[in-house]
Structure 1
Amino acid sequence: MDAQVGPGTGQATSSALRRALVPLALAQFICSFAGSNMTVMINDISRDLDTTVQGVQLSITLFLLVMAALMIPGGKLTDRYGRKRCFLVGLSVYGVGAVISAVSPGLPVLILGNSLLEGVGTALLIPPVYVLVTLLFTTTVSRAKAFGIVSAAGGVGGAAGPLIGGVITSAVSWRAAFVFQALVIVVIVLLGRRIEDPLPAEPQRPFDLGGAVLSAVGLVLLVMGIMAADDNLWLCLALIAAGALVLAWFLLATRAKERAGREPLLSLSLFRNRTSNLGMITQNAQWLLLSGLSFTVAAYLQVVRGYGAIETGVIFSATTVGLLGASLAAERLARRSPQRTLIVAGFVVTVAGVVLLLLMAPGAASAWAVVPGLFLVGVGLGTMLTPSVNIVQSAFPEHEQGEISGLSRSVSNLGSSLGTAVAGTILVAGIAATPQRAYGLAVAALAVIGCVGLAAALALPRSSGVPVATRVAAGQ
């Protein structure tokens, strides 16, 4: 036996834990897949729904933004209603959204199904994934393996989304990609019914509705402001300022509730852990890079180079191969190298890949010149996704897992939405007039983000990154 179900609940066999891990990893896979597969459908969706590249970007960004805005409340609800219940309800809402997206006659209905319902469903189901992994796998080795599998599933879903989406779109239609998502959701629901929640629900636990509204509105205004930069600079600045003010209001209200002895949506004590704060910055940067590069390169290949969905997906398979290979080696690497070292190395390799994308793609005769850069990005991300998650989740005790899981996933998904918003806004603003320059500016912006992530990784305390093998030998 390598883990326990939870405090006072007895032992669980390795096979039972593996069965529980399958639907959790599949859930992370399909949610990450949903955030990236639409990038290869830009031309198909825009033609079919009589919209524009910017319209498709809006749908993708709103999906990621709804996830980010509601992930913290979603994490809090896991304590009140139970992790398994939130997981299954989230899957159901997501599945309904996927079906609506598949039959959508226009962009507004696509936004309802994909951006809103799938986004809400994801915000409900993802926090329980990370809380359950933390509670079910209680030893250092088993938890590291479990987070490695879940993180790899998410990374592969995000990286393989363009390839799988491209194949489905070319073979059938872009609508079939949403049918595929709905079918996977059905499988996850059937498998997820076997999961046992290690801790009882706390239905009497208060829920800070006001804090949930303020945090969601603040994040939405912030990202929408960034998206407005290509149309109206004053609107952009106004929305960003409004978002910052609402988030400041949220923080002040949270502090007042804590001082009054009331339970807020998010305890400010979570931000007093320096290691966790830096870990979340690295998570944000990782998903920002993956999402931003997926949209930028996919739009460039389709709109500028004239590639179809399947050709674009095949080119993106370089990222999938690199990420999957690095993820498969993650456990061995974690036994030999500190987690901090792996995160730093991951950013170095990723930034090198982004630089290659910046230097080789615009002037190359063939679009296949982006393959080496995409491969390096995949290797870098695969190397650091798992240690970043493990550092954050393991920094807090069981009773704070719901909050930190929601906060951590919100930070990651905010990175995804910012990646599409920032890179997409730069690209869309100039792709019609000066496509090479627009591509270069978007990728250069992402390179800067990679350097910020690298700086955060270098600032991580060295003591936070002891190799798994060393901790096991020390009895931890």
Structure 2
Amino acid sequence: MQQQSGSLMQNWAALLAVSLGIFAITLDGSMMPVAIGSIVNDFQSQLGFVQAAMALHSLVMAAMYFSAGKLGDRMGQKRIFLFGAIIFASGTLLAAFSPSIWILLLGWSLIKPIGGAMMIPAASSIIVINYQGPQRNTAFGIFSAFVAAAAVIGPVWMGFIANTISWRWAFASESILILTLVYFASMVTESELNKSAKFDWLGALLAFIGLGLIVLGATLAGEFGWWSARRPFYIGEANFSPYGLSAAIVFMLSGGVVLIIFAISSVIQQRRGGVPLFDVGLFRNKLFSLGMLLGFLFQLVVGGLLFVLPVFLQSALYLNALQTGIVLLPYTLGIFIFALFSSRLPARFSTVRLVQAGLLLMLVGAIWVRFIASLELEWAAFVPALFCFGAGAGIVLSRLTGLTLSTIKPAQLGEAAGGDSTGKELGVAFGVSVLGSVFLFMMFGNVVDNYDAFYRLPVAEEQARAQAIIELEDWAARLTQEEWLAFLQSLPEAVGKAYESIVINAYLTSYKKTIEILIALIAGMLAISFVIRTRVVK
């Protein structure tokens, strides 16, 4: 695909089209958490069903990226991007006007993520193909700024529309963005097609099953255990916990085995002269492999922070959803401003150096967030810390994808972008599931320990403690924040204050330890970036 000459709009039509696409995808994802309560009330459903719909959404997205990337190479990046946009719009409209929770599940959790998975790898490929040098850096910076802007606007837009009209119209409004991007995409010429072999349907099936099982396992691990079964997992009436293992680890290990078969199948196909769904030889490209690893860790860190911080703010500091959004605003503004700022820097600034600078800012911001952690914390204290973290994240976002794909041949851009997107989606899933489950497990464990200490009970045996944590989790899952506060008020004043202190201090302790894990991960990312600098980039 070559950039069309002519007007300024034509020159930047490709960027505008893909930026509007990623804006719509991010906007949709950021609106759903705000819409959960309205959806549950509208359909008289259970909260767990909507949470399952969100997990299924991530599962479908992660499992589709490899196939979508390869289809972009064969069918053309513009064509697959537009097909994906149409499927995405169809899914959101079906969800917006769904008469039942099951139709919502079909539209939002199955159809829409297929379209989104087709759009994201194609979007990165379109930018790489259409823009070179400083223009490419500018393009990725603007692209990242659209992501940050959507993350800021989405919750506010959904909250406003849901309160004034209906949550349905907030989702339906995304169709306007899709119509606009179709207009800009019409100005862009198609990329060269690579039809050297038939589409690898076996590889697509193996990738879908393998990645799907891994994401499913990660989603279930917090509740059912990362290794040993914490509680029974029923398939029908049968308890599925072979040899005492958690269903989550069985699913993840099975997914890993399927992906190994996928890799072997790809190598065999390539040796026979075929074209596999994904060329595993791409991992011999150190820059691509290390960049993909950084992308996975980056999304894991950000996903973990954006789960743990709001839970702490709402559960320990009693902030509501709007107040939590205001606290997070410096983070999103930092991403927006510095993604644009870094894209305007001249070419003499090394991309690797800029990524390292972004990671360093993220590290400083994370340490700052940990340092100010307190139950007497004022909102204003978060502003510089989260802005610093967001500034670093904005620089990394604007540069990392371009760096990862910079040495990939044009004929392999689609599958490479698909692999990179898969790694990032897995990072999001693991950030919420791994770090989220670690945070909550430590919190509930601290509550049990502090409760025993308050009543001067003997130290519980490991099995009894584990059972107490499970029972506490189940009780807390059925309790709203209002019901918890009402329960405290129903107790004698001294006991109520003691119980409240036990819980909020447990949140604080677990929050501090989880932020320390994030700090260690960011430090590891910074170390990896220096490996890129010394071993790959001349």
Letter in 2 for 1:347: L
Q: CA offset at residue 43 of structure 1?
A: 4.5
Distance 2:48 2:310 in 1: 14
Distance 1:11 1:191 in 2: 14
* 2:65 and 2:118 in contact (8 A); partners too: yes
Q: CA offset at residue 245 of structure 1?
A: 1.0
Letter in 1 for 2:529: A
Distance 2:426 2:96 in 1: 25
Q: CA offset at residue 413 of structure 1?
A: 2.1
> Any idea what the Cα deviations from partners look like across 1:2-36, whole Å, max 9, x if unmatched?
xx816xxx856544121232111111222223333
Q: 2:492 matched to 1:420? A: no
* 1:166 and 1:313 in contact (8 A); partners too: no
Q: Find the counterpart in structure 2 of residue 102 from structure 1.
A: 96
Q: Find the counterpart in structure 1 of residue 79 from structure 2.
A: 85
> Any idea what the Cα deviations from partners look like across 1:104-126, whole Å, max 9, x if unmatched?
46654433222222210111112
Alignment match of 1:5 (pick from 2, 7, 25): 2
Letter in 1 for 2:223: D
Distance 2:534 2:153 in 1: 33
Alignment match of 1:142 (pick from 135, 156, 159): 135
Q: CA offset at residue 63 of structure 1?
A: 2.2
Distance 1:370 1:56 in 2: 31
Q: CA offset at residue 458 of structure 1?
A: 2.2
* 2:360 and 2:392 in contact (8 A); partners too: yes
Distance 1:49 1:438 in 2: 35
In terms of mean alpha carbon deviation, does 428-437 or 382-391 score higher?
428-437
* 2:124 and 2:401 in contact (8 A); partners too: no
Q: CA offset at residue 370 of structure 1?
A: 3.9
Letter in 2 for 1:21: L
Q: 2:203 matched to 1:217? A: no
Q: CA offset at residue 149 of structure 1?
A: 1.8
* 1:131 and 1:401 in contact (8 A); partners too: yes
Q: CA offset at residue 70 of structure 1?
A: 0.7
Distance 1:164 1:464 in 2: 43
Q: Find the counterpart in structure 1 of residue 60 from structure 2.
A: 66
Distance 1:170 1:374 in 2: 29
Alignment match of 1:118 (pick from 98, 112, 128): 112
Of the two, which has the highest radius of gyration?
2
User: 1:449/1:215 Cα in 2 relative to 1: closer, same or farther (>3 Å)?
Assistant: farther
Q: Find the counterpart in structure 2 of residue 335 from structure 1.
A: 347
Q: CA offset at residue 392 of structure 1?
A: 1.5
User: 1:22/1:33 Cα in 2 relative to 1: closer, same or farther (>3 Å)?
Assistant: same
Alignment match of 2:199 (pick from 207, 210, 217): 207
Distance 1:301 1:258 in 2: 52
* 5+ long unaligned stretches in structure 2: 226-245, 445-472, 477-502
Q: CA offset at residue 339 of structure 1?
A: 1.4
Alignment match of 1:190 (pick from 164, 176, 183): 183
Q: CA offset at residue 53 of structure 1?
A: 5.8
Q: Find the counterpart in structure 1 of residue 327 from structure 2.
A: 315
* 1:292 and 1:423 in contact (8 A); partners too: yes
RMSD: 2.9
User: 1:349/1:275 Cα in 2 relative to 1: closer, same or farther (>3 Å)?
Assistant: same
Q: How many residue pairs were aligned?
A: 458
Distance 2:163 2:360 in 1: 35
* 1:361 and 1:370 in contact (8 A); partners too: no
Q: Find the counterpart in structure 1 of residue 523 from structure 2.
A: 451
Distance 2:64 2:519 in 1: 28
Distance 1:446 1:150 in 2: 26
User: 1:160/1:81 Cα in 2 relative to 1: closer, same or farther (>3 Å)?
Assistant: same
In terms of mean alpha carbon deviation, does 92-101 or 286-295 score higher?
286-295
Alignment match of 1:17 (pick from 11, 14, 20): 11
In terms of mean alpha carbon deviation, does 312-321 or 36-45 score higher?
36-45
User: 1:236/1:462 Cα in 2 relative to 1: closer, same or farther (>3 Å)?
Assistant: same
Give the secondary structure class of the aligned counterpart of 1:120.
Answer: helix
Distance 1:339 1:97 in 2: 37
**Could you say which structure has the greater relative contact order, defined with CA pairs below 8 angstroms and 6 or more residues apart?**
1
Distance 2:268 2:157 in 1: 48
* 2:310 and 2:324 in contact (8 A); partners too: yes
Distance 1:186 1:304 in 2: 43
In terms of mean alpha carbon deviation, does 238-247 or 358-367 score higher?
358-367
> Any idea what the Cα deviations from partners look like across 1:196-226, whole Å, max 9, x if unmatched?
2132x45564111111111121112112212
User: 1:444/1:111 Cα in 2 relative to 1: closer, same or farther (>3 Å)?
Assistant: farther
Q: CA offset at residue 308 of structure 1?
A: 4.0
User: 1:384/1:465 Cα in 2 relative to 1: closer, same or farther (>3 Å)?
Assistant: farther
Alignment match of 2:286 (pick from 268, 274, 277): 274
Distance 2:517 2:30 in 1: 19
Q: Find the counterpart in structure 1 of residue 465 from structure 2.
A: none
* 5+ long unaligned stretches in structure 1: 467-476
Distance 1:112 1:325 in 2: 37
* 2:10 and 2:187 in contact (8 A); partners too: no
Letter in 2 for 1:153: F
User: 1:441/1:58 Cα in 2 relative to 1: closer, same or farther (>3 Å)?
Assistant: farther
Alignment match of 2:26 (pick from 25, 32, 43): 32
In terms of mean alpha carbon deviation, does 222-231 or 96-105 score higher?
96-105
Q: CA offset at residue 461 of structure 1?
A: 2.5
> Any idea what the Cα deviations from partners look like across 1:110-166, whole Å, max 9, x if unmatched?
3322222221011111222122222222x3122222222223322443455444444
Letter in 2 for 1:453: M
In terms of mean alpha carbon deviation, does 208-217 or 141-150 score higher?
141-150
Q: CA offset at residue 334 of structure 1?
A: 5.3
Letter in 1 for 2:63: A
> Any idea what the Cα deviations from partners look like across 1:301-359, whole Å, max 9, x if unmatched?
44555544433322222112111111121134453531112112212221332333344
Distance 2:12 2:387 in 1: 30
Q: Find the counterpart in structure 1 of residue 224 from structure 2.
A: 232
* 2:145 and 2:337 in contact (8 A); partners too: no
Q: CA offset at residue 168 of structure 1?
A: 4.1
Q: Find the counterpart in structure 1 of residue 69 from structure 2.
A: 75
Give the secondary structure class of the aligned counterpart of 2:69.
Answer: helix
Distance 2:405 2:288 in 1: 8
Letter in 2 for 1:5: Q
Give the secondary structure class of the aligned counterpart of 2:12.
Answer: helix
Q: Find the counterpart in structure 1 of residue 413 from structure 2.
A: 401
Letter in 1 for 2:206: L
Q: TM-score, normalized by length of structure 1?
A: 0.86
> Any idea what the Cα deviations from partners look like across 1:79-119, whole Å, max 9, x if unmatched?
22222221111111111211232234665443322222221
